[in-house]
Amino acid sequence: MLRLGRREFAPHERVIMAIVNRTPDSFYDQGATFRDEPALARVEQAVAEGAAIIDIGGVKAGPGEEVSAEEEVRRTVGFVAEVRRRFPDVVISVDTWRHEVGEAVCEAGADVLNDAWGGVDPRLAEVAARYGAGLVCTHAGGSEPRTRPHRVTYDDVMADILDVTLGLAERAVELGVERESVMIDPGHDFGKSTRHSLEATRRLGEMVATGWPVLVSLSNKDFVGETLDRPVKERVVGTLATTAVSAWLGAQVYRVHEVAETRQVLDMVSSIAGDREPAVARRGLA
């Protein structure tokens, strides 16, 4: 059982985490949800379309203008508090690597800290433990935050992913984070070439076999774009194909931009796997 905030998710329940960027320069929407009202409208739409988790980020993942911890707090804390007020049952995640930000957003009502940079600030897990928050433990190949990979090599990329994420997960539990509230993430694109991300997807079952809930962040990423030679706005089909494969291999949580489309893909996979009844089953019976 995966427990996040007030919610519990069964092992075969495929869960959507909707992305809400509080940045003026995000790679996908170029700041469409930087202001409060568009961002709150995005949350309302995502919840209506089937997202159980809202992932709020105050700093874009890629290189760009420096954002201080104070500015990251300014972009996220008030918004977390307002989302908590308007949507009391939604799980609120915050994408940050900084313990100072983690502390502030947990005070404001965040349920999960999404550490996309692989424990670069070891105190973030301590914050999650202190506040009873969930934690995403990600493989980033040892990369510094907001850097792009350059000639990264692995003897065995999945072995490295498992070594790092399982180590981070066990450390989090030792610090006091509830085991049922820890997720592991292979970190597609982070510290990886396109071939590494494809292999991580192909071998995702090895992560699932560890017993930790697996989160995948695939949405419109560069490995999809390079594989199909498509710009950012033309990567939805490739993303959904990768989502279907990941779902079949057992990933549980999906961090996405396109909520409605992802919900259909996950429901279809769940029904094929026998975990979900068809919404309607009239064919051959009339």
Average pLDDT, integer, range 118-130:
98
Burial bucket for residue 220 (CB in 10 Å: 0-12, 13-18, 19+): buried
Secondary structure percentages of the chain, helix, strand, coil, to 5: 45, 15, 40
Handedness of CA 248, 249, 253, 258 (dihedral sign): negative
Under the banding of pLDDT at 50, 70 and 90, the label for residue 259 is: very high
Reported as a single tens digit per residue, the pLDDT across 189-244 is 999 999 999 999 999 999 999 999 999 999 999 999 999 999 999 999 999 999 99
Reported as a single tens digit per residue, the pLDDT across 32-76 is 898 999 999 999 999 999 999 999 999 999 999 999 999 999 999
Cα 76 to Cα 101: distance, rounded to the nearest angstrom: 9
Average pLDDT, integer, range 9-15:
97
Half-sphere exposure of 186 (CA within 13 A, CB side): 29
Q: Which of 255, 263, 282, 283 is catalytic?
A: 255
pLDDT of residue 29: 80
DSSP strand pairing (182-185 vs 134-138)? parallel
Phi, psi for 183 (deg, rounded to 5): -120, 150
Cα 173 to Cα 181: distance, rounded to the nearest angstrom: 9
Q: Which of 60, 192, 221, 235 is catalytic?
A: 221
Reported as a single tens digit per residue, the pLDDT across 198-207 is 999 999 999 9
Cα 208 to Cα 214: distance, rounded to the nearest angstrom: 6
Average pLDDT score, the chain:
97
Asked about 203 being catalytic, the answer comes back as no
pLDDT at 30 over 80: no
Cβ atoms 213, 2 nearer than 8 A: yes
Packing angle, helices 36-48 and 69-86, rounded to 10: 50
Reported as a single tens digit per residue, the pLDDT across 77-107 is 999 999 999 999 999 999 999 999 999 999 9
pLDDT at 286 over 80: no
Percent of the chain with pLDDT strictly greater than 70: 100
Under the banding of pLDDT at 50, 70 and 90, the label for residue 31 is: confident
| The token pair that represents 64 in the structure block | 């760009």
Under the banding of pLDDT at 50, 70 and 90, the label for residue 25 is: confident
Asked about 171 being catalytic, the answer comes back as no
Residues in Cβ contact with 137 at an 8 Å cutoff, skipping those fewer than 6 apart: 115, 118, 119, 165, 168, 169, 172, 182, 183, 184, 185
